Amino acid sequence: MNKAGIYIHMPFCRVKCMYCDFYSVTDRDEAMPTFFDSLIKEIKMCQIDTKSWTIDSIFIGGGTPSLMSSNQLESLIKELDTKFDLKNVKEFTIEANPGEAPEERLKSFKSLGVNRVSMGVQSLNKSLLKFLTRIHGKNEVLKTFEILRKVGFDNINCDLIFNIPNQTLKIWKNDLEEVLQLGPEHLSCYSLTVEKGTELYKHVKRGEIKMPSNDNSSELYGYTQSLMNDYGYEQYEISNWSKPKLECRHNLHYWEIEPCLAFGPSAHGFDGKSRFSNISNLDMYINKIKLDKSPQVQIQELSNKNYSNELIGFGLRIKNGINLNKISDELRPNFENILKNNKDKWGRFLIKEDNHLRLTNEGYAFADAVAVDFLL
Ligand SMILES: C[S@@+](CC[C@H](N)C(=O)[O-])C[C@H]1O[C@@H](n2cnc3c(N)ncnc32)[C@H](O)[C@@H]1O
Ligand code: SF4
């Protein structure tokens, strides 16, 4: 049986953050009811055959899913349950923004089956949060975390960002330690990326904002790795740490190239053969569905070679490594050759065990460069 997940994209936000290129809209709350009607219709229209799949994760991301009402979530779950076999779902995550997830709503989310919350903390530092144009402060983070525990969530992730201009090691240490004191089960620490089309990109391009140097970023990353280890978290992906056995199943589906259904504007999915993505425009998404049309704008069948390259690229990012058994017999000799040719360059950062090839913790910092050399 193929392990699989379901992703739902909720595209509404209170403000657009200057660094974010995830698809989202602001000041469009009036469109929320129509959006949910469309989402439910999109699920009804789905023709992917999931009979041979074991769906074990649901992830509602955004945007800001914590803005949805419990009634909206209830009707969404009802439709998913009618259409798919959800009896094996072990992990049901919703993203929540600090200060934008009231207690009553979180309580009903929990009673509807949500068992994991991913909170976008980003930073606790007042001036960095201002730089990132976030509308929350440290108090909202602490309060939302407290509410999550009170309501009974025992699997909480906090997203943090490093590599922010003017973020010294001291500031990062303070943020990280304060978040670790809260004791979340999972932490994602992302390096701030300058994505095209964002306000950050424009400022960097015009020379108004200078991003930190690679040395600076490596120092913060190295510190993160050792502190997480001291606190008993295991690094299971370049940017992700968890308490034992609490890795995010849903993200592992992406990294292990397993199927994932995807609904909502801009959502990306994989049916085991082809990758597909929905239109990144709320009104066009709604209109297409109104006309009984699919909101998909891109469908690309993964060739054997592309599938293997994805296995390699993502495999280098995770603790489980590249599952060599999944690389086809036809391409395996080619890959073995590549490994042999790169032994001197990358050999000391690689470990081969049980037909899996993975990077050492030290090697994670070079994952992108190794992937380039390992492409088939
Ligand atoms: C879908 S986003 C946002 C979730 C939620 N709306 C929030 O803002 O907290 C998920 C995570 O991606 C990370 N992220 C978004 N844009 C990023 C960027 N340009 N560089 C690094 N991390 C980014 C943030 O840590 C964020 O919490
Ligand atoms: S970072 Fe989160 S809150 Fe900010 S625009 Fe992106 S999705 Fe919305």
pLDDT digits (tens, 9 = 90+) for 195-248: 999 999 999 999 999 999 999 999 999 999 999 999 999 999 999 999 999 999
Q: What pLDDT was estimated at residue 2?
A: 85
Ligand 1: centre distance to CA 188 (Å): 10
Q: What is the pLDDT of residue 1?
A: 67
The dihedrals phi and psi of 213, each to the nearest 5 degrees, come to -75, 165
Q: Could you tell me the distance, in angstroms and rounded to a whole number, from the CA of residue 17 to the centre of ligand 2?
A: 5
Distance, in Å, from the CA atom of 359 to the CA atom of 41, rounded to the nearest integer, reads 43
Give the HSE-up count for residue 131: Cα atoms under 13 Å, Cβ half-sphere.
21
* Residue to substitute in 159, 199, 201 for testing ligand 1 pocket (most ligand atoms within 8 angstroms of CB): 159
Residues of the chain with pLDDT under 50: none
Q: Which ligand is nearest to the CA of 98?
A: 1
Which residue is listed with tokens 């603790």?
319
CA of 21 to the centre of ligand 2 (A): 8
Q: Is 62's C-beta closer than 6 angstroms to any atom of ligand 2?
A: yes
Looking at residue 242, its pLDDT comes to 98
Ligand 2 centroid vs 341 CA: distance in angstroms? 43
Output the six-digit token pair for 312.
Answer: 């390699």
What strands, in cross-sheet order, belong to the sheet with 356-359?
322-323, 356-359, 350-353
User: Ligand 1 in contact with 50 (CB < 6 A)?
Assistant: no
Ligand (nearest to CA of 194): 1
Q: Kindly state if the Cβ of 39 falls inside 6 Å of ligand 1.
A: no
122 C-beta closer than 6 A to ligand 1: yes
**Domain boundaries for CATH 3.20.20.70 within the chain:** 2-255
Q: State the distance from the centre of ligand 2 to the C-alpha of 23, rounded, in angstroms.
A: 9
- Number of CB atoms found within 10 A of residue 18's CB: 16
Q: How far is the CA of 20 from the centre of ligand 1 (A)?
A: 6
Within a 10 A sphere around the Cβ of 341, how many other Cβ atoms? 10
Question: How do residues 271-308 score in pLDDT, each as one tens digit?
Answer: 999 999 999 999 999 999 999 999 999 899 999 999 99
Architecture of domain 2-255: Alpha-Beta Barrel (3.20)
Using a 6 Å cutoff on CB, does residue 24 contact ligand 2? yes
Q: Is 340 exposed, middle or buried (0-12, 13-18, 19+ CB in 10 A)?
A: exposed
Q: Is the pTM above the cut of 0.85? A: yes
* Ligand 2 contacts CB of residue 66 (under 6 A): no
CA of 230 from ligand 2 middle (Å) equals: 31
190 lines ligand 2 (CB under 6 A): no
Report the C-alpha dihedral over residues 360, 365, 368, 372, rounded to 10 degrees: -60
